[in-house]
């Protein structure tokens, strides 16, 4: 997944830029993670139906309003935060570990094995964007596990390509050659001498990856291929709301704003991280 080129350093130098470029996004992401982690303990009932509040607009006392079944949108947005966070966490973990392992060993061992891996990567890249995930999620059936599987199958390729490119350029460095000369085994070289140097670019890739996964999960749920109702996802909330645009636009706006805030914040933090870790944009 491609990163977003940095908003110029110029904005960031002043105090206001730090607020919008760092502290606000940090607060949003921290809030998102917090809600997801302590979610089960929160006194919310996202599936609770209150017929008198059907399509109730946002307002004082009414908080963020209610959806077409009279469920509280505020509580459903919190539940949706949980869904997107859990999916993002799992997909990043699975695809980063798998992709890095494949890419690293492919580049380090080289030869025929590497040739095969490159071909496999090419084949996966031939399915544009979210298409393969849509087909997989559609065929595996809805459910949060299948969303994780579908997005990981698509996601590992980016890490594999990145790790492979990095290792190809790293493996001829002196410190690696020295380790080889001293008789270190493949495992030791990979874990002690290559992976630590791979960390920075991989972390940056993963941070932008999270934004992509949040959008992808919501997209799959929007298409009805994500979590099963009545479970809440920002994507399925937008889908439900799209049918009531005329009478209750808040049904789209509330989850939409939540989604945008998180994605924008993750992207901004990714920019920061890239500058901090001094990783050049590799696209």
Partner 1 sequence: MYFLVSRLASAAVVIFGVLVLVFMLIHLVPGDPVEVMLGESARPADREALRASLGLDRPLWSQFGQYLGNVLRFDLGISLHSQRPIADILLERIPATVELALAALLVAVLIAFPLGVMAAVRKDSGWDHGAMAVSLLGVSLPNFLMGPLLILLFAVWLGWFPVSGREGLGSLVLPAITLGSAMAAILSRMLRATLLEVLGEDYIRTARAKGLGPRVVIWRHALRNALLPVITLLGLQLGALLAGAVITEAVFSWPGIGLLIIEAIQGRDYPVVQACVLLISLSYVLVNTLTDLAYGWFDPRVRTGQAS
Q: Which of 38, 46, 36, 29 is nearest to 236 (CA)?
A: 46
**How far is C-alpha 66 from the geometric centre of its chain's CA atoms?**
28
**Least Å from the CB of residue 172 to partner 1:** 16
Least distance to partner 1, CB of residue 262, Å: 9
Specify whether the CB–CB gap between 143 and 227 falls below 8 A.
yes
- Residue among 153 and 190 whose Cβ is closer to partner 1: 153
Distance CA 28, CA 258 (A): 9
- Residue 234: both structure tokens together: 């920002």
The whole-angstrom separation of Cα 87 and Cα 218 is 10
- Measured from the CB atom, is 144 or 218 closer to partner 1? 218
Contacts of 177 (CB under 8 A, 6+ apart): none
In the complex with partner 1, the residue whose CB is nearer, 29 or 190, is: 29
The answer to whether residues 84 and 262 touch, using CB atoms and an 8 Å cutoff, is yes
| Beta-bridge partner residues of 171 | none
Rounded CA gap, 18 and 225, in Å? 38
Supply the minimum distance, in Å, between the C-beta of residue 119 and partner 1: 6
List residues bridging with 59 in a β-sheet.
63
Closer to partner 1 by Cβ: residue 7 or 69: 7
In the complex, least distance from residue 239 CB atom to partner 1, rounded to whole angstroms: 8
Q: In the complex, what is the shortest distance from the CB of residue 166 to partner 1, in angstroms, rounded to a whole number? A: 16
Shortest distance in whole angstroms from residue 235 CB to partner 1: 7
* 68, 79, 86, 204 from 83: Cα distances, Å: 21, 7, 5, 23
Nearer to partner 1, 45 or 116 (CB): 116
Encoded tokens for 226: 């994500």
Our CB check for partner 1 shows the closer of 38 and 139 to be: 139
Binding site for partner 1 (CB under 8 A): 2, 4-5, 7-8, 10-11, 119-120, 122-123, 126-132, 134-136, 138-141, 211, 215, 218-219, 222-225, 235, 238-239, 241-242, 245-246, 249, 252, 256, 259-260, 263-264, 267-268, 281
Taking the least distance from each CB to partner 1, the nearer of 112 and 183 is 112
Shortest Å, Cβ 33 to partner 1: 18
């Amino acid at each position: 997944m491609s990163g977003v080129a940095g908003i110029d350093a110029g904005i960031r130098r002043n105090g206001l830029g730090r607020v919008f470029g760092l502290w606000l996004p940090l607060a949003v992401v921290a809030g998102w993670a917090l809600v997801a982690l302590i979610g089960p303990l929160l006194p919310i009932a996202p599936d609770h139906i209150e017929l008198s509040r059907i399509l109730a607009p946002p307002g004082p006392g009414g908080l963020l309003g209610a959806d077409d079944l009279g469920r509280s949108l505020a509580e459903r947005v919190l539940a949706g935060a949980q869904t997107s966070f859990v999916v993002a966490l799992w997909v990043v973990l699975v695809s980063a570990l798998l992709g890095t392992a494949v890419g690293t060993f492919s580049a380090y061992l080289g030869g025929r094995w590497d040739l095969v891996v490159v071909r496999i990567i090419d084949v996966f890249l031939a399915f544009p964007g979210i298409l393969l995930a849509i087909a997989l999620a559609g065929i595996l059936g809805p459910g949060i596990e299948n969303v994780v599987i579908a997005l990981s199958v698509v996601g590992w390729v980016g890490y594999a390509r990145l790790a492979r490119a990095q290792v190809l350029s790293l493996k001829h460095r002196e410190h690696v050659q020295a380790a080889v000369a001293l008789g270190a085994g493949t495992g030791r070289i990979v874990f002690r001498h290559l992976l630590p140097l791979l960390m920075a670019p991989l972390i940056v890739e993963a941070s932008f990856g999270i934004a992509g996964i949040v959008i992808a999960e919501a997209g799959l749920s929007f298409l009805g291929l994500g979590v099963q109702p009545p479970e809440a996802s920002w994507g399925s909330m937008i889908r439900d709301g799209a049918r009531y645009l005329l009478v209750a636009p808040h049904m789209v706006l509330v989850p939409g704003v939540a989604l945008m805030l998180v994605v924008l914040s993750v992207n901004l933090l990714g920019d920061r991280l890239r500058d901090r870790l001094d990783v050049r944009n590799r696209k």
